[in-house]
Amino acid sequence: MALTFTLLDGRYHDRRSFSCGVAALDDYLRNWAGQHQRDGIATTHILIDDTQPAHILGYCSLSAAQLYLHELLEEHRKRMPAYPVPAMRMGRLAVSANEQGKGYGRLLLGHAVNLALSVRQSMGIRVLIVDAKDARAAKFYEGYGFQPTIDARPTLYLPLGRHKPTSAPPYPAQTQRP
C-alpha cells in the first residue's frame, strides 16, 4: 500500500461514494470540483491508496487568493508592502468518514503547504489561507499554526515565512538567442 496525491479526474475517481459527514463538502466533490478545475477556479487534489486507485480517501481544493494587510496580526505585517498579501487558499479539506483519525487530514494539509512552497519558486505566496466551517475545524487548523485573521473570520492563515530559493531556478536564467 502506498499513499499518493493526484489531481481529481472524474473519469477514474469514484466521487459518488465519497462521504465525509458534511454534505456540502461531499456535494462539492461530486458536482463542482471537476467543473471548477476545468474552469480554472480551483484544483482538487485527492489522496488515494495505489491498491485502490479509484477510491478517494480525502481531498483538498486549492486556488489563488489574497488577504488584506490589516487582516494579518501586527507581528506578520512587518516589512510588508501596503497592498494585498498574496495567498494560496485551501478552500476545502475533507477525509472520508470511515478513514478519519488516521492522519490523512494532516497529510492533505501538508500536501497543500508543500505545493504552496513549490509554487513560491515561481511567484509570490506569503500565506496559506483556509476557511474553518466551525469551531472544531478552526481548532484543527490552529493545531498546525494557523492564526485567526482580524475582521475576516472564519478565515485563518498560516504564515509561510521567508522564501529560500532552491539552488536551481525552475527555468533557465538565460536562454540563447536563436
State which residue, 24 or 80, has the beta carbon closest to ligand COA: 24
**55 exposed, middle or buried (CB, 10 Å; 0-12, 13-18, 19+)?**
middle
Binding site for ligand COA (CB under 6 A): 20-22, 25, 93-95, 100-106, 132-133, 136-137, 139-140, 143
State which residue, 110 or 169, has the beta carbon closest to ligand COA: 110
State which residue, 14 or 169, has the beta carbon closest to ligand COA: 14
State which residue, 43 or 121, has the beta carbon closest to ligand COA: 43
Distances 143 to 14, 48, 89, 114 between C-alpha atoms, Å = 31, 24, 18, 18
Which residue(s) pair with 156 in the sheet? 130, 148
At its nearest, how many Å lie between ligand COA and the CB of residue 111?
Answer: 12
Distance CA 155, CA 132 (A): 6
Name the 3-class secondary structure at 106.
helix
At its nearest, how many Å lie between ligand COA and the CB of residue 166?
Answer: 28
At its nearest, how many Å lie between ligand COA and the CB of residue 146?
Answer: 11
- In this chain, which residue has its C-beta nearest to ligand COA? 105
C-alpha cell at 151: 475582521
Distance CA 150, CA 161 (A): 19
At its nearest, how many Å lie between ligand COA and the CB of residue 120?
Answer: 23
